[in-house]
Amino acid sequence: MDVKVAESIAELLFSKDLVIVPGFGGFVAEEVGADVDQVLGKISPPSKKIKFNDNLIVNDGILSSFLMDKYSLSKLSAEMEIEDFVKRSNKLLDGREIIVFPNLGRLYKDFQGTFKFLQDNSNHNSEVFGLGDVHARPLIRNTAINRQVDQANNPNQPQEEQIKVGPVATTNLRSRPPKKKSENNILLAVLMATAVFILFAVVLFKDTLFNDQMPSYNSEVIEDPLDEPVVQTEDNDEYDGWDDEGVTELEEEEVVREKEIRAWKEAEIVVGVFGDKKNAESLIKRIIQSGYEAVSLDRGTATAVAVRYAFETEDEFNTKFEKVKKEFNDKAWVYSKE
């Protein structure tokens, strides 16, 4: 028989405010009143806010009695089902896995080993029959329609003076008579004549203008240096290897070296989490003395210490990972790998 302990916890919270899983923890339900969020346009009905407390581990018999009635089990069988559920849950949590409780939420452990519970959108308040949030927006009515409705309901009410929107009449002081067509033609002819004159002047005097602006240079014939004899000096030996072929070989070596560097990857392995920074500093010194690169990761009040190393293949990563676990902490886990 498939006994579903996780679903039974969610069913019990409709009628109970506390459900304890012996040896594991308790789910506490706190009633929350209705709420209206005018910014988000959301109306929330009365509900229950579920929290998980790992200190509530004493068996109160509520969960086992529910399993006995639902699945027709004996008391011993019900307690064994709960015990098996606790073992499987602890194994998943220690492996950084998330436990899903249907119609309730999700439970997991953070890197400090603290329980974290995230409630889903289900409502365990039996009085509202699981009603969820309602999204609504205020209605905006047209002012003109409101005015017509008010006048229809109150015909004796004096009508408001309506402002008519239309063209504004201009006075004689600000108005100007339109320009005549002949004046526009004259202005256009003057502009064209000016443009032609400027273009003609540039074409006519361009040589004079450019020659005045260009600086003068003294012309001098330079003899071909190839006709002169080459003088051998004692320092010529220092330039061996400076030919084009040598430069090309150096550039090719740099490209190959750059490709080799890009092929390497890095991994960060967390080997300890401390609330006291002095303990974290002691572990960092030990990592450095062992020839590794140490990394400090601050997370609020806790400090995680990780070992960073480079690898090229997956086999090399696994070999170094096992070596780090053996030397520092057999429960070390991978923080980043890229």
Q: Which residue has the tokens 């064994």?
A: 80
Distance of CA 43 to the CA centre of its chain: 29
Sign of CA dihedral 139, 140, 144, 150: positive
Q: HEC string of 254-306? A: HHHHHHHHHCCEEEEEEEEEECCHHHHHHHHHHHHHCCCEEEEEEECCEEEEE
Q: What is the mean pLDDT of residues 139-154?
A: 65
Percent of the chain with pLDDT over 70: 66
Quote the tokens at residue 311.
């690898």
What pLDDT, on a 0 to 100 scale, did the predictor assign at position 53?
Answer: 94
What pLDDT, on a 0 to 100 scale, did the predictor assign at position 202?
Answer: 77
Q: Which residue has the higher pLDDT, 295 or 262?
A: 295
What pLDDT, on a 0 to 100 scale, did the predictor assign at position 269?
Answer: 92
| Cα–Cα nearest to 279, from 305, 241, 310 | 305
Chain segment 77-130, per-residue pLDDT in tens:
999 999 999 999 999 999 889 999 998 999 999 988 899 999 888 887 777 765
The string of DSSP codes covering 131-155 is: ---EE-------HHHHHHHHHHH-T
Chain segment 299-333, per-residue pLDDT in tens:
777 888 999 999 989 999 999 999 999 999 998 98
Q: DSSP 3-state assignment of 68? A: helix
Q: What is the mean pLDDT of residues 190-200?
A: 88
Chain segment 16-36, per-residue pLDDT in tens:
999 999 999 999 999 888 878
Amino acid at 112: Q
Cα→Cα distances 265→18, 69, 295, 334, Å: 49, 57, 16, 14
Q: What's the CA gap between 17 and 295, in Å, rounded?
A: 45
What pLDDT, on a 0 to 100 scale, did the predictor assign at position 207?
Answer: 60
Chain segment 266-295, per-residue pLDDT in tens:
999 999 988 888 888 999 999 999 889 998
State the distance between the two ends of the chain, measured CA to CA, in whole angstroms: 45
Task: Give the H or E element holding residue 321.
Answer: helix 314-327
What pLDDT, on a 0 to 100 scale, did the predictor assign at position 52?
Answer: 95
